Structure formats: structure tokens, C-alpha cells
Amino acid sequence: MYVAVKGGETAIRNAHRLLADRRRGDRTLPSVTIEQIVEQLGLAVDRVMAEASLYDRPLAALAVRQSRGDLIEAIFLLRAYRTTLPRFGTSVPIDTAKMLVERRVSATYKDLPGGQLLGPTFDYTHRLLDPSLIADTPVEEPERREATGDAVMRVADILAHEGLIESDGEFPEDHQAGDITREPMEFPMPRDLRLQSLARGDEGFLLALGYSTQRGYGRTHPFVGEIRIGEVEVEIEVPELGFSVSLGRIQVTECQMVNQFKGSAKAPPQFTRGYGLIFGQSERKAMSMSLVDRALRAEEFGEDITAPAQDEEFVISHSDNVQATGFVEHLKLPHYVDFQAELALVRKMRADIEAARNGDNPMQEAAE
């Protein structure tokens, strides 16, 4: 008998109730707190802040909890909140040369002013599961050096003194930084918008693209000029005051990739660069971003565009994981109206062939 597909409303209500139940899990166990997530799952929180383009650790932690640890879902939650916030100004560009550095490494120099500073890194740990973590044994206090307060010179500036690397590039005086969340995207895009898109792009997607350039799909001969992680001041200009005031500090990860040089008969050769800047601590993402940024500059440098990572429209259109997951997953929505149309057509075409076989068309039969 025909059973009508009714009851969508009840079904949704019950599904949400079950979801809430599964999110909470065993009620005899304590609920994980926002503070615990911020403190102990900090890199997950950082990824959510970075790809949601909203620097707010407690809210990102709330999103992680609400999404049961599904980070793309958490990014989505935070973005849907961010989009409703009014934008009341643009900050002065942050100055990463003045960063309070917690980690800073360069692969292009053995030693350099400011030193190599490993900081809290997984590098050089042996990836052996640590059973002592199960028992929650006390953890020693770290050793810390007194902060000198001196600015740590950027590697790019060392090369720039000799003119060995291209400059940061200049925008005209009246250039207003674009905002991909407020203006429709257009291709080709200026680099500021491209970098914005990459900064909120999916970590895994950018990682794979960056990796592909290393394996020959758009090689760029990269060196890690510098990676630095630390806190920078965010300032905003207040027109009534005539000077900028500090809004506070944020943690960022910056990667400056030094890439194959470029020169001509007239201009002497210079290294080129790729740039990555990410909220929080996310070295993998910052490095991937800088590889992809450099690959996307192929046209600017007159390089042949042969690889996916060099194709701006391909990369930018598919880097956003909230868009991607939504569209992929929408395939589970009902499509039966369109499927009905296809079904009828296939039946009709099969019937035509069947009719031809049964002798309605002797010519065709003879041929078969």
C-alpha cells in the first residue's frame, strides 16, 4: 500500500534529539568544558578559528563541542555566527617583525639574528603512544627564557638588504583591503583577496596542492625562509584621535617561503616568495598556503601554467571546505523529481531499441 512520505517535522525533531543525546554521550561521565577544549585541544580550536576567519577561542571551542569534534562542522557553525556580525573597521596591518616570538625557525640559515627557537613543536618527538597520558600524570613546568622585548628580524628582510629577494610589493596609496566575505569573488583576483581565500581554505586541500608542487606539478623550488609563531598587536585607527589604538593581541603563524629566482636581461635575478599567515598555531597550513600562493603567482612571473596548483580559478573555487561539504552532502537531499525525468527518458529510449529489435525496423535488424 502507498505510504506517503509524511511526518518530516516529527522526524527532524526526533533526529535532533537523538543527535543531542549522542553529542553528550554517557551521562555518568562529566561533560567536557569549553575551558578544557581551549586548553587541551588548542590546535583543533586554532584550526576552527583559522578556517572560520574569526579569532575567538571560547566560541571556537563551543563550536568544537557542539559539533562532536567534527571540525568542518565546527568551522561552519562559527562562520554562520561570524557572518551576522557587523564590520566596524579595518585594522592597521599587523607587524609580524614586532611579533613576540614563541617559535621561529629558518631552513635557509644555520644561525641568524634572533636565533632558531623551536618552541612547542611536535618536530623531533618520537611518535610513540604515551601510556602515561592515560593516567594523567603531572606535567613539569616548562623552562622559559626571559623575554628580551627585542624585535626578531625577519629572514626576508635579511635577503632584502642585499636586494636578493623581491619586495613585499606595493599597493597604491588609496588601496582598500578587499574582503571576500563582503564582496563577490571575481577572477582573476588580486593577491590580497587570493591570500584571504587561502587563509580560510581547507587545510587538507591546501596541503595536498602544496605537496603536488613538490612532486613536479608546478615546481617552485621552495625553501622555508622562516616560520614564526607568536603574538602580535592588533591596532585600529580611530579617525577622531588621529592615531591607532591597540585592540589586543592575537596569536598567528607566519611562513615566508623563498622560491626560485626570476630575472631578465634588464633586471638582475632575485628570489621570489610565497606567503602564508594563519590565526593561531598552524604550521602545516601556513606552509601549504605559502607553497600554493607561490604556485598561483605563475602568471605574474610568466611561468607556464600546467598544474592544478597554478590554476587560480580551480584552487580558489574548491578550497572552501564549508562550500565543498555542503554541496557534496546536498546529494543526499531528495532529487526524485529530476530522477523521475531521467527514468522516463531511459525507459523510452530502451523501448525504442526494443521496438527496433522486434522488427519494426528491418534495416536495423539486418544490420545486427
Partner 1 sequence: MTDLASYNFAYLDEQTKRMIRRAILKAIAIPGYQVPFASREMPMPYGWGTGGVQVTASIIGPDDILKVIDQGADDTTNAVSIRAFFEKVANVAVTTHTKEATIIQTRHRIPEQKLGEGQVLVYQVPIPEPLRFLEPRETETRKMHALEEYGLMHVKLYEDIARNGRISTTYAYPVKVAGRYVMDPSPTPKFDNPKMHMSDALQLFGAGREKRIYAVPPYTDVVSLDFEDHPFEIQKFEQPCALCGARGVYLDEVVLDDKGGRMFVCSDTDHCEERREEGHTGEMPSQEAAE
Q: Which residues bind partner 1 (CB under 8 A)?
A: 1-9, 11-12, 58-59, 62, 76, 79-84, 86, 181-188, 313, 317, 322-323, 325-330, 333-338, 340-345, 349, 352
Is there a contact between 203 and 282 (Cβ–Cβ < 8 Å)? yes
Of residues 82 and 221, the one with the C-beta less far from partner 1 = 82
Closest approach of partner 1 to the CB of residue 345, in Å: 5
SS3 label, residue 153 = coil
Kindly compute the dihedral angle of the four CA atoms of residues 291, 296, 300, 306, in this order, to the nearest 10 degrees: 110
Assign 246 to helix, strand or coil: strand
Minimal distance, residue 23 CB to partner 1, in Å? 17
How many Cα atoms sit within 13 Å of 33 on the Cβ side?
A: 3
Three cell numbers, residue 207: 596541503
Residue closer to partner 1 (CB basis): 63 or 292? 63
Q: Considering beta carbons, is residue 80 or 118 the nearer one to partner 1?
A: 80
Number of residues in the chain:
368
When the beta carbons of 86 and 131 are compared against partner 1, the nearer one is 86
Q: How far is the C-alpha of 286 from the C-alpha of 277, rounded, in Å? A: 6
Which of 260, 361 has the CB closer to partner 1?
A: 361
Q: Which residues pair with 243 in a beta bridge?
A: 238
CA–CA distances in Å: residue 52 to residues 47, 200, 341: 8, 6, 39
Q: Distance of CA 132 to CAs 10, 39, 41, 136, 139, Å?
A: 47, 19, 18, 7, 10
Taking the complex as a whole, the smallest distance from the CB of residue 126 to partner 1 amounts, in Å, to: 39
Q: How far is the CB of 68 from partner 1 (least distance, A)?
A: 16
Q: Which is nearer to partner 1, 237 or 313 (CB)?
A: 313
The C-alpha atoms of residue 185 and residue 289 are separated, in whole angstroms, by 19
From the CB of 344, what's the least distance to partner 1, in Å?
6
C-alpha cell at 342: 531521467
Which residue lies nearer to partner 1 by CB, 328 or 366? 328
Nearest to 20 by CA among 63, 68, 70: 68
